[in-house]
Amino acid sequence: MTSSNTNAPKIRRRRRSFSHGARIAGAIFVSLLFLFPVFWMILTSFKTQVDIFTTPPKLFFEATTATYVEYFSRADIPQRLLNTVIVATGAGILSIVVGTLSGYALARIRLRGAATFGVLILMSRGVPPIALAVPMFLVARNMGLTDKHITLILAYCTFLIPYVMWLMRSFFVSLPKELEESAMIDGCSRFGAFFKIIVPISMPGILSTLIFSIILAWEELLFALVLTSRDAVTIPVAIAGIAGDTETGANWAALTAVGTVTVIPVVIFALLVQKWLIQGLADGATKG
């Protein structure tokens, strides 16, 4: 692109660079527009009630951490944050272990009937979660399993395992076949070749997929709403409660403070693995 630019006659180059500049300006403007809600959330979380409810909206104000102190010294919010961490990492780790194994099986192992299971599992993406939430609630209630971390972890497997399996499958397909073939000629068992050769090589992919899985579980609302009531309540449920609490009026300070704490760690993790995320998305759309 740049080389053809320098070779082009001067007048054309100037016209090009004008539309080029407009494109860049547009790109920056749109990016800022998309970031604004998050920016405003963080800003509002440091405002006092008086500064929140005022027109014109205040961009500059005396920052206070009072909302954070109030909400995170109460017993329920830290407990819910902890629940979310337990459930999200638990579900993420369980799904990555199970889904990496089956993703590898679909990519590399000749298995009669396995492809059928693969397609069935892929089809499960069309199942509305509410069709699972109703029976899960009834079964969990009759078995005394409601309001437990393990119940939510298992419920999250319904969407995480298919996700991990298909992402890891396309990752393993892209690896050269000679890797484990040579290892197995050298006397490695199938498991040996998988755990000693394939897993270490795939670590970046596995870790990124784990992080996405944790993010997906971290934000889940419906199952958490249905399957928890007191002890295992997660942060999205708490936020839905704050947002839906219209009796005391809009508690924007609480909403933004808890929202900020929920979003910031996820954003950091997502930015850490963004290269892989974009690659995975692109592959999913073009090859899937």
User: Site residues for other proteins, window 62-81 (CB under 8 A)?
Assistant: none
Query: Which of 88, 96, 152, 154 lies at the binding interface for other proteins (CB under 8 A)?
Result: 154
One-letter identity of residue 22: A
**207 part of the interface to other proteins, by CB under 8 A:** no
Binding window for other proteins (CB under 8 A); candidates: 34-42, 71-79, 172-180, 195-203: 34-42
Q: Given CA atoms 124, 129, 130, 136 in this order, what sign does their dihedral have?
A: positive
**281 part of the interface to other proteins, by CB under 8 A:** yes
Per-residue contact track with other proteins, 112 to 151, x per CB under 8 A? Answer: xxx--x---x-xxxxxxxxxxxxxxxxx-xx---------
CB of 56 to other proteins, least distance (A): 6
Residue with tokens 């197995």: 184
Q: Cα–Cα distance between 164 and 225 in angstroms, integer?
A: 24
User: Site residues for other proteins, window 211-230 (CB under 8 A)?
Assistant: 215, 218-219, 221-222, 225-226
**92 part of the interface to other proteins, by CB under 8 A:** no
Q: Tell me the C-alpha to C-alpha distance, in Å, between residue 148 and each of 75, 86, 118, 157, 164.
A: 18, 11, 30, 15, 24
Q: Cα–Cα distance between 250 and 49 in angstroms, integer?
A: 11
Per-residue contact track with other proteins, 37 to 56, x per CB under 8 A? Answer: xx-xx--x-------xxxxx
Count Cα neighbours of 52 within 13 Å in the Cβ-side half-sphere.
21
Closer to other proteins by CB, 133 or 233: give it: 133
Binding residues with other proteins: total (CB under 8 A):
103
Q: How many CB atoms lie within 10 A of CB 85?
A: 15
- 73: enclosing H helix or E strand: helix 66-73
Burial 192-209 (b: 16+ CB within 10 A, else e): ebbeebbeeebeebbebb
Query: Which of 31, 49, 65, 182 lies at the binding interface for other proteins (CB under 8 A)?
Result: 31
Query: Which of 87, 96, 155, 232 lies at the binding interface for other proteins (CB under 8 A)?
Result: 155
**199 part of the interface to other proteins, by CB under 8 A:** no
Query: Which of 73, 110, 187, 200 lies at the binding interface for other proteins (CB under 8 A)?
Result: 110
Do residues 210 and 100 touch, judged by C-beta distance below 8 A?
no
**96 part of the interface to other proteins, by CB under 8 A:** no
